[in-house]
Amino acid sequence: MISAIAFCQQEENGTIYIKHPYIDVVNNAAKAYMAKDESTEKMIYSDTARVWISGLEKGISIADAIKGWSSDFDYFDDVNLKTFGYPDYLHYKKDNGMTVQSWWTLSGKSKKNGEVIKIPIVIFDDFNTAGKIISVSILGDLSKWLKEKS
């Protein structure tokens, strides 16, 4: 019996890095969020960056996203974004794609009821050649978080 796997062609489409300056940019974006440092956030993202978050029908502008992220502190105490695992920088040959994928736990204590909410999320940050984040996709069940903000 001959395995079909032996006849499949393989081709690499890029390189995965465990250390890269774009990983540092993503970590700095998380630090700026937790420090409520909107001016640093605005420097990290391109002016035309778009953000999509699980549950949204379509993406939003980075300006609207930063406003929304800043409002987290109006509804939660002890807001934290902590990494788990480690981020990877993916540099794709095709179309020179540049993405950092990272895993986090978003947490905060509700000012309404004192409940501590912890949400595992994964974030995909796409970069342009100038080193700015141009697209953000955040995946996770943020329904409890958003419910506290409504």
pLDDT (tens digit, 9 = 90+) per residue, 90-146?
999 999 999 999 999 999 999 999 999 999 999 999 999 999 999 999 999 999 999
Percent of the chain with pLDDT over 70: 95
Does the reported pTM lie above 0.85? yes
Positive or negative torsion for Cα 28, 137, 116, 82: negative
For the chain, the 3-state helix, strand and coil shares in percent, each to the nearest 5, are: 30, 40, 30
* Total Cβ atoms within 10 A of residue 22: 20
- pLDDT-derived band at 9 (thresholds 50, 70, 90) equals confident
